[in-house]
Amino acid sequence: MSPSPVTGTGALYGAAGRLGTWLKVGLGVLIGIGVAPGVWPYSHGCGLRVMFYLLGVTTVIAAGVWAGVSSWRRRLGFAHVISQVLIIWGVLLMTREVLPRVGAKPEAPWLCPDVPQPR
């Protein structure tokens, strides 16, 4: 007799569980749209603004992972595909902001130039 990996499958596959998964996916999509280039309402060139933007992008990735785990457990294939697209979208947005700021010759600053550098 092998043990069942899931106990109480009624809540796992019920309508409330599916609705909760789709709400997680929807929340992730809305956040993903909100941090899209051209939609984010603030400039995010340097300083705290870029840090808050990257926090928003990290939230997109976290929402994608959260929705992905939920959709995987409930066997909702289309929701899982959307959650994987959210993760990829978040990684692309983060790469777009981080890559110009790292390396031997960074093209974009982390801190704004008008802020005096600590000595």
Angstrom distances, CA of residue 35 to CA of 1, 14, 28, 72: 50, 32, 11, 25
What rounded mean pLDDT belongs to the chain? 86
Question: Looking at the whole model, is its pTM more than 0.85?
Answer: no
Residue 12 CB burial class (10 angstroms; 0-12, 13-18, ≥19): middle
Grade residue 116 by pLDDT with cuts at 50, 70 and 90: low
Handedness of CA 67, 40, 107, 119 (dihedral sign): negative
Q: Name the residue ranges covered by the structural domains of the chain.
A: 27-100
Answer whether 24's CB lies under 8 Å from 66's CB: yes
> What pLDDT, on the 0 to 100 scale, is given for residue 84?
97
pLDDT digits (tens, 9 = 90+) for 66-75: 999 999 999 9
